[in-house]
Amino acid sequence: MIDLHTHSTASDGSLSPAALIRAAMERGLSAIALTDHDTVGGLEEAAEEAKKLNIRFIPGIEFEISCDKGSMSVVPPGEFHLLGLGITRPTPAFLDAVAYLARSRENRNRKILEKLEELDVRIDYDELISFAGGGSAGRPHIADILVSRGIVKNRDQAFFRFLGKGRPFYFPKEGLRFARALSLIKESGALAVLAHPLSLYVAWGRLPALIQELAGQGLGGIEAWHPTAKPRACRRLEALGKELGLRITWGSDFHGETRPGRKLGLSAGGRKIDDAVLSAIPELA
């Protein structure tokens, strides 16, 4: 088995980068990509552990993309995430963008914490960093604090009541424009892959045209298999990707204890992610 979409404590996962690699070994994975949100902070640690354990490691990232009417013909109402798989030579521009996103994330966190004070919920920023394990803090970690204080039962309830889009304490996150993120990923030696396409919330009648448009701009692959999609939809996405000449990737989007339903090496419908998926991607094989 392999896995091309995972997260560690460097963003919003529950396992450290090294612990993630050890978990992959215990699961019998031969290769794994670490794709933390907007950060490469866990890559070095994961790479060192993978070398010790003789597991193929693919350094990656997951960028959030900001869209407007001028950037593409269909503006997705949902989440637009772009994976970079195989970041072998991160450019200064790439690292500058990651640093910019970190500053933007911190500004957003502080706005949320200030807003929460209206509920007499006071959270010190150092406490938030502690809940993030010293990694990149964000809404999931704010949710964890709310759970720890008994304000909500779990992360899902925290997002539904307070932190999700359209909720009282939501602030939009600054992302990168698609063209910019695409350029940064490719210049850094990586393959740009559209993550979990159904999260775009674009109707099937319009989704093929949008993905074709992205492919025309240089998109390299599509994560056709993701645990939030049904296998039938995944097969449909895979066929579309192949028709457009895109690489087909599979991932678990593993986060650990925070999303216990997602298992390393497994994707939609509990299907194992076979080594053949990686061998079919020349850029990574």
In 3D, which of 61, 146, 156, 46 has the Cα closest to residue 99? 61
Span of 38-47, 102-111, 176-185 with lowest mean pLDDT: 102-111
**Cα gap 103→186, rounded to integer Å:** 23
pLDDT level of residue 250 (50, 70, 90 thresholds): very high
% of the chain surpassing 90 pLDDT: 76
Reported as a pLDDT band with limits 50, 70 and 90, residue 67 is: confident
117, amino acid identity: E
Q: What is the mean pLDDT of residues 50-72?
A: 90
CA–CA distance, 279 with 285 (Å, rounded to integer): 5
Both tokens of residue 5?
């979409």
Mean pLDDT confidence for 253-266: 92
Quote the pLDDT of residue 120: 87
* 135: DSSP letter: S
- CATH fit for domain 99-163, picks 3.40.1350, 1.10.150, 1.10.287, 1.20.120: 1.10.150
Asked if pLDDT for residue 70 goes beyond 80, the answer is no
Q: DSSP state, 161?
A: I
The pLDDT value recorded for residue 47 is 98
Q: H or E stretch including 2?
A: strand 2-3
pLDDT at residue 69 in the model: 64
- Whether the pLDDT of residue 134 is over 80: the answer is no
State the Cα–Cα distance between residues 253 and 193, nearest whole angstrom. Answer: 14
CB 5 within 8 A of CB 33: yes
Q: What does the pLDDT read at residue 71? A: 67
Q: Given this model, what pLDDT does residue 174 score? A: 83
190-240 pLDDT per residue, tens: 999 999 999 999 999 999 999 999 999 999 999 999 999 999 999 999 999
Enumerate the domain spans of the chain: 2-98+190-279, 99-163
| The predicted structure's pLDDT at residue 56 | 98
Residues 56, 37: Cα–Cα separation, whole Å: 21
Task: Fill in the amino acid letter for 172.
Answer: P
Paired strand residues for 32: 3, 57
Q: Are 29 and 2 in contact (CB under 8 A)?
A: yes
Report the distance separating Cα 7 and Cα 191, nearest Å. 18
CA 180 vs CA 103, 158, 177: distances in Å: 18, 32, 5
Q: What is the pLDDT of residue 173?
A: 81
What percentage of the chain has pLDDT greater than the value 70? 99
The pTM of this model reads 0.91
Q: How would residue 42 be classed by pLDDT, with cut points 50, 70 and 90?
A: very high
Q: Which CATH superfamily is domain 2-98+190-279 in?
A: Metal-dependent hydrolases (3.20.20.140)
Between residues 78 and 234, the one the model is more confident about: 234
Q: Which amino acid is at 114?
A: E
Mean pLDDT for the chain? 93
**166 has a pLDDT exceeding 90:** no
Cα–Cα–Cα angle for 127, 48, 282, rounded to 5 degrees? 110
- Residue 53 clears pLDDT 90, i.e. is over it: yes
pLDDT score of 246 more than 90: yes
CA distances from 72 to 18, 137, 262 (A): 39, 30, 32
